[in-house]
Amino acid sequence: MVDVPNQPTPTTGDRPTRARRRAAEGPFDLIVGSVWRFFASVRVAIWMIGFLTLLTLIGTLRGSVVPEHIGEAVPALQPLVDAWYGWNTFGSGLYAATMAMIAIGIIIGGMLNRIPGLWATIVRPTITTTRGFLRGTAPHATTQADTPVQALLADLTQTLKRRRYRVVTEQVGEDVHVYADRNRWGKLGTFPFHIALVMVVIGGILVTQFGFRDLQFVVAEGQTVAVGNDSDLSVRLNRFTDVYYADGTPAEYRSDVTVFDGDDELVSGSVQPNHPLEAGGVTLYQSGFGYNVSLLVTDRVGNELYTGAVTLGEYQASDNPDAPAGLLAVPGTNYTLNIIASDRDPENQPELDTMGLASQEIYIQARSPDFPGTVTPTAVITPNQPTNFGDLVVTFQRYGTYSVLQIAYYPALWLFGAAAVLGVGGLIAIFYFPHRRIRAIVSPVGANRSALLIAPLARRDWSGKRDFVLLLEAFRDATGTAVTIRDEPDRSAGPASIA
């Protein structure tokens, strides 16, 4: 990781070599070891994320005109373009497999494999360092003061603490080695962030496996309809309201509904575009609306066959395509009623309206295999006038409104919520609380003088170096001692060596 090249590692004699470790492993360990190393590698991670990026681009372009243009420009590629449009990238096994691989990589390489190293950096940092290492660092700084070691150390510690550094020291002979860092917990930000990514993947799997989404849940005013999909919920539409701007564009639609769990009333509330209603784990969205007619259908002796609303608008009447029409298969009979309502907008294309229904009238045609050919009974009826159609008696009760809702059930939604919080929190920790580290050696120079040699662990880290320079400026201002900051490694001291 980042800090390895910054600090010479003392080699100890009794560490098993890689070859000896290999020899001690069985084939199973070898495989596990290789898999682990594969997923632990950031290089592999980059390739995997890069591959997912590429797939995402391919899938995105499917929804654009870009492949089409490619096909026009290079006709030889046309078969490829067709295959491209035909391939549901985001639903493909390849896409899912890549995400799964990345999730495993995140768990192994982004998290587990890093715990020991991070733990050491955060909790048990190496305190001792070498002069050669410090001098070999760019930038590094030196100063001398007319005070004993402990006084200089106290000044340095004070400056560091004021800047929220934790300071730990270790006496090595006459020298005091200093390790100071701040935001050491910020390093851990990659954990919540990477965990959040895994949570999103798991949540996505749960939603696709167990969630449902009903895009056409139709419920008429006054009616109660079961949600289905293995749930005990049902929804009653109490009232539907629509309001328009002067130019006819819709300003507001609203469904006032009551949601039941079995027979228990759960929630009463309203559903509007952008304002869904949540109840019993499902979410209701406003999607559309339309008109219906309430009918009572009986047989000739008065036995009720059907009572309720028939939605209009799902069919077009050939006689007036402009008018809403609907169908009712009468239960328990082989009759189908074709229903055509009056034209809601007679101004629009009046030439199409060959029926001329008044606003409170409907047209009904009863079809049945029992009425072959042209003898189909038809009639225009007005409200509350029972009318005979073959064996049936139909009473048109009133016009009504129905609402089209979407009902969605997303399991484990909290996973996504938690992931959002963890992810953003993690990013803030990583980016805005960067781990800054400083090493120093304070040593006596003669009886009452002391010297400071200090450097940041900030290889190729411009901001870290800048912080270091600012820190030393603060130190200089606080103590009045002159500080020499060198931008280059001090080669005169020879190569970095263990002093």
Q: Which is closer to ligand HEM, CB of 316 or CB of 463?
A: 463
CB of 136 to another protein, least distance (A): 16
Q: Which is closer to another protein, CB of 210 or CB of 432?
A: 432
- 194 binds ligand HEM per the rule CB under 6 A: yes
Which of the ranges 40-48, 178-186, 243-251, 321-329 carries the binding residues for ligand HEM, by CB under 6 A?
Answer: 40-48
Of 274-333, binders to another protein (CB under 8 A) are 274-276, 283, 285, 287
Beta sheet of 166-172, edge-to-edge order: 166-172, 175-182, 436-445, 449-456, 140-145, 484-486
- 424 binds another protein per the rule CB under 8 A: yes
Q: Which of 81, 99, 106, 227 binds ligand HEM (CB under 6 A)?
A: 106
CB of 122 to another protein, least distance (A): 17
CB of 42 to another protein, least distance (A): 6
How buried is 265 (Cβ within 10 angstroms: 0-12 exposed, 13-18 middle, 19+ buried)? exposed
- 73 binds another protein per the rule CB under 8 A: no
SS3 of residue 275 by DSSP: strand
- Distance (Å, rounded) from C-alpha 69 to C-alpha 58? 14
- 109 binds ligand HEM per the rule CB under 6 A: yes
Is the bond preceding 139 in cis, omega lying within 30 degrees of 0? yes
Q: Which of the choices ligand HEM, another protein, none does residue 57 contact, using the CB cut-off of 5 to 8 A by kind? A: another protein
Find the Cα–Cα–Cα–Cα dihedral 461, 463, 468, 472, rounded to 10°: 150
Q: Which is closer to another protein, CB of 50 or CB of 228?
A: 50
Which of the ranges 101-109, 120-128, 263-271, 363-371 carries the binding residues for ligand HEM, by CB under 6 A?
Answer: 101-109
In 99-187, where do the E strands start and end?
A: 140-145, 166-172, 175-182
CB 109 within 8 A of CB 45: yes
- 114 binds ligand HEM per the rule CB under 6 A: yes
Q: Which residues contact 367 (CB under 8 A, 6 or more apart)?
A: 335, 336, 337, 338, 376
Which of the ranges 128-136, 242-250, 389-397, 491-499 carries the binding residues for another protein, by CB under 8 A?
Answer: 242-250
Helix axes 190-210, 93-105, angle to 10 degrees: 150
Q: Which of the choices another protein, ligand HEM, none does residue 66 contact, using the CB cut-off of 5 to 8 A by kind? A: another protein
Which of the ranges 267-275, 308-316, 335-343, 372-380 carries the binding residues for another protein, by CB under 8 A?
Answer: 267-275
How buried is 43 (Cβ within 10 angstroms: 0-12 exposed, 13-18 middle, 19+ buried)? exposed
Q: Which is closer to ligand HEM, CB of 190 or CB of 320?
A: 190
- Strand 449-456 vs strand 436-445: parallel, antiparallel, or unpaired? antiparallel
Dihedral pair phi/psi, residue 360, rounded to 5°: -105, 20
Q: Which of the choices another protein, ligand HEM, none does residue 448 contact, using the CB cut-off of 5 to 8 A by kind? A: none
Q: Which is closer to ligand HEM, CB of 47 or CB of 210?
A: 47
In 330-458, where do the E strands start and end?
A: 336-341, 362-367, 378-381, 387-389, 392-409, 436-445, 449-456
Which of the ranges 145-153, 313-321, 372-380, 416-424 carries the binding residues for another protein, by CB under 8 A?
Answer: 416-424
- 112 binds another protein per the rule CB under 8 A: no
- 229 binds another protein per the rule CB under 8 A: no
Q: Which is closer to another protein, CB of 102 or CB of 440?
A: 102
- Distance (Å, rounded) from C-alpha 368 to C-alpha 358? 27
SS3 of residue 36 by DSSP: helix
216 residue type, one letter = Q
- Strand 233-244 vs strand 264-271: parallel, antiparallel, or unpaired? unpaired
Q: Which of 463, 473, 484, 494 binds another protein (CB under 8 A)?
A: 463
CB 217 within 8 A of CB 404: yes
Q: Which of the choices ligand HEM, another protein, none does residue 312 contact, using the CB cut-off of 5 to 8 A by kind? A: none
Q: Which is closer to another protein, CB of 47 or CB of 185?
A: 47
Dihedral pair phi/psi, residue 337, rounded to 5°: -100, 125
Q: Which of the choices another protein, ligand HEM, none does residue 11 contact, using the CB cut-off of 5 to 8 A by kind? A: none
Q: Which is closer to ligand HEM, CB of 103 or CB of 257?
A: 103
Q: Which of 190, 255, 286, 368 binds ligand HEM (CB under 6 A)?
A: 190
CB of 64 to another protein, least distance (A): 4
Number of C-alpha atoms within 13 angstroms, CB side, residue 436? 23
Closest by CA to 258, choosing from 290, 235, 226, is 235
Q: Which residue in the block uniquely carries the two structure tokens 């575009």?
A: 273
CB 234 within 8 A of CB 227: yes
Q: Which of 6, 7, 56, 241 binds another protein (CB under 8 A)?
A: 56
Closest by CA to 251, choosing from 259, 262, 241, is 241
- Print the binding letters for residues 197-226 with another protein: x by CB under 8 A, - otherwise: ----------------x-x-----------
Residues in contact with ligand HEM by CB under 6 A are 2, 42, 45, 48-49, 102, 105-106, 109-110, 114, 190, 193-194, 197, 430
Residues in contact with another protein by CB under 8 A are 1-2, 5, 42-43, 45-46, 49-50, 52-53, 56-57, 59-60, 62-66, 90, 213, 215, 245, 249-250, 253, 273-276, 283, 285, 287, 406, 408, 410, 416, 420, 423-424, 427-428, 431-432, 460-463, 465
